C-alpha cells in the first residue's frame, strides 16, 4: 500500500496537461470488442482502471500492447465470452462489456462488477435495456449470464438517465438488427465520444448529447485510430486545487464547456477563469466566498465526481455551503477525514452543511474511494503543516501521475510505500 506525504500551504503556479478521460476510455475499450479489426486508442492514460480493462480484454482473447502513449488492440482472435470475476470485481466499468461481448459472441458471463463503494449503483437499467434488445439474462451465484441468437433494435425508455446503461445499450445497438431508440438517455460528453468512436468504426448512431439517441444497426464494424476527449473531472480537480491553495494555473488539453457548472461555481467564489482553444486559465487570490449551495445532478448539472473535491474547497471558504448529493447514497465518506483536518461539517442523509474555517491543519487521513482520495489530497496540499493520505490505490484508479503534476505546480508531495 502507498501513501502521500504532503507539506501543505504553498500556492500553485504553472501548467499541467490533462489526460484523456477515464470515463471515455473505458467504454471505448469495451467497444473495441465489437470488431475483429485493429483499434488504436491514442493518448491512453495508464491508470489502474484502464489496466484492469486491458486485462479483461486479454482474457477475452484480444491482443493488447502499449506503444508509447497509444494502446493497440487486436480482437481478431477473441473467442472467450467469460469476463473473469477477479477483474470484474475491481472495476465497475466491466459491466460495459455485457453489451459488446453478447453482440460479438452471442453470449456473455460476468461476475457482478465492483469499483468504489459509494452507493448501491444497481445495474437493473443495463439488464432491462438489454432484454428489450432480445437478450436472455439469468442471475445466479453472483454471476450474470446473457445469451442471444441475434440482437434486434427496439425502443428503450430509461427510468433514469444512467451513463453506464446508455453506453451499454449503444454498444449492443451498434450491431443489432434494425433501429434502436434510447429515450431519457444520459447526455454526458463521454456518451458523445462513444458515439463518435463507433461511427468512426462504421456505425450509424445519432443524437448523443441529447435525451434521444438513435442507433441504426450495421452488420460489421472495422478498426479505427482514435483520440478520446480530455478528462473533465481531472481538469476540475486541478481547478479546485488552485482555488484552495491560491495561485495561477493553466490547464492544457482541457475543455471549459464540459465543466461549465464548476466554472460557474468557481467564479462565484471570486476565482478568475478564462479559456481559449484547448486551455483553461485560473487565478485565485484573496478571500474565497462560500459557493452557498452545490447540488449534484446528471450532466449538464454539477458532476457527482467533483462533489468531494468541492466539499474540500467549501471547508476553506468564507461562510457556509450546503452540499447536496443526489446520485449516490454513501458519497460523504471523505467527511470524517476532513473533520480530522479541522473542517466543520455536519452531514444529514444526502446533504452536508460545510461551515468554512480560516485554514485546515495537517493530519493523517485515509482514502476510501477515488474522488474522496483526490479531495483529501487537495485538502492536504492546502493545509497548514504535514499530512499523509493513505491507500493510493483509489486515486490511482483515475489520476495518472497525480503527485508529479501537483509537484510541477509547486506542491510539496511525495509517494512512499507503507
Among 50, 15, 9, smallest CA distance to 30 is for: 50
CB 126 within 8 A of CB 156: no
CB 156 within 8 A of CB 182: yes
270 φ, ψ (degrees, to nearest 5): 85, 15
List residues bridging with 256 in a β-sheet.
none
Dihedral angle over CA of 38, 55, 401, 186, nearest 10: 70
321 φ, ψ (degrees, to nearest 5): -130, 140
Contacts (Cβ under 8 Å, ≥6 apart) of 35: 75, 201, 220, 221, 222, 223, 224
CB 247 within 8 A of CB 410: yes
Angle at CA of residue 325, ends 161 and 171, nearest 5°: 25
Catalytic residue from among 116, 146, 284, 315: 116
Q: Which residue has the cell 487537495?
A: 378
Whether omega for the bond prior to residue 300 falls within 30 degrees of 0, making it cis, is: yes
Query: How far is residue 261 CA from its own chain's centroid?
Result: 16
- Strands 12-17 and 63-67: what pairing? unpaired
Query: How far is residue 283 CA from its own chain's centroid?
Result: 26
- 135 is written with which cell numbers? 437478450
C-alpha span between 357 and 108 (Å, rounded): 52
CB 362 within 8 A of CB 341: yes
Active site residue 245: no
Give me the active site residues, please: 116
Amino acid at each position: 500500500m502507498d501513501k502521500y506525504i504532503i507539506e501543505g500551504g504553498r500556492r500553485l503556479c504553472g501548467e499541467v496537461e490533462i489526460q484523456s478521460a477515464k470515463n471515455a476510455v473505458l467504454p471505448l475499450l469495451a467497444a473495441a470488442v465489437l470488431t475483429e479489426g485493429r483499434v488504436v486508442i491514442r493518448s491512453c492514460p495508464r491508470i489502474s482502471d484502464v489496466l484492469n480493462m486491458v486485462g479483461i480484454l486479454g482474457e477475452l482473447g484480444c491482443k493488447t500492447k502499449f506503444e508509447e502513449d497509444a494502446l493497440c488492440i487486436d480482437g481478431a482472435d477473441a473467442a472467450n465470452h467469460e469476463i473473469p470475476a477477479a477483474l470484474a470485481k475491481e472495476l465497475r466499468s466491466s459491466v460495459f462489456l455485457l453489451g459488446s461481448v453478447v453482440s460479438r459472441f452471442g453470449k456473455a458471463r460476468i461476475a457482478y462488477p465492483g469499483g468504489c463503494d459509494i452507493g448501491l449503483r444497481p445495474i437493473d437499467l443495463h439488464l432491462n435495456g438489454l432484454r428489450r434488445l432480445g437478450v436472455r439474462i439469468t442471475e445466479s451465484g453472483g454471476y450474470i449470464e446473457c445469451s442471444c441468437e441475434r440482437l434486434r433494435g427496439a425502443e428503450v425508455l430509461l427510468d433514469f438517465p444512467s451513463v453506464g446503461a446508455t453506453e451499454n445499450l449503444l454498444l449492443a445497438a451498434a450491431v443489432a438488427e434494425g433501429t434502436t431508440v434510447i429515450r431519457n438517455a444520459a447526455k454526458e460528453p463521454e456518451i458523445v465520444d462513444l458515439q463518435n468512436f463507433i461511427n468512426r468504426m462504421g456505425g450509424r448512431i445519432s443524437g448523443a448529447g441529447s435525451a434521444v439517441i438513435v442507433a441504426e444497426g450495421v452488420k460489421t464494424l472495422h478498426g479505427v485510430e482514435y483520440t478520446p476527449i480530455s478528462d473533465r473531472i481531472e481538469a476540475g480537480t486541478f481547478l479546485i486545487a488552485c482555488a484552495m491553495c491560491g495561485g495561477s494555473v493553466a490547464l492544457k488539453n482541457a475543455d471549459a464547456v464540459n465543466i461549465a457548472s464548476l466554472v460557474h461555481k468557481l467564479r462565484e467564489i471570486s476565482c478568475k477563469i478564462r479559456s481559449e482553444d484547448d486551455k483553461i486559465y485560473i487565478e485565485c487570490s484573496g478571500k474565497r466566498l462560500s459557493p452557498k449551495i452545490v447540488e449534484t445532478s446528471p450532466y449538464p448539472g454539477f458532476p457527482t465526481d467533483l462533489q468531494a473535491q468541492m466539499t474540500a474547497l467549501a471547508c476553506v471558504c468564507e461562510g457556509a455551503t450546503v452540499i447536496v448529493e443526489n446520485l449516490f447514497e454513501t458519497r460523504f465518506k471523505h467527511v470524517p477525514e476532513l473533520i480530522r483536518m479541522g473542517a466543520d461539517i455536519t452531514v444529514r442523509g444526502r446533504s452536508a452543511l460545510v461551515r468554512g474555517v480560516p485554514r485546515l491543519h495537517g493530519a493523517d487521513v485515509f482514502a476510501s474511494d477515488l474522488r474522496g482520495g483526490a479531495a483529501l489530497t487537495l485538502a492536504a496540499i492546502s493545509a497548514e503543516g504535514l499530512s499523509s493520505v493513505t491507500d493510493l490505490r483509489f486515486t490511482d484508479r483515475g489520476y495518472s501521475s497525480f503527485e508529479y503534476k501537483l509537484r510541477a505546480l509547486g506542491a510539496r508531495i511525495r509517494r512512499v510505500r507503507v
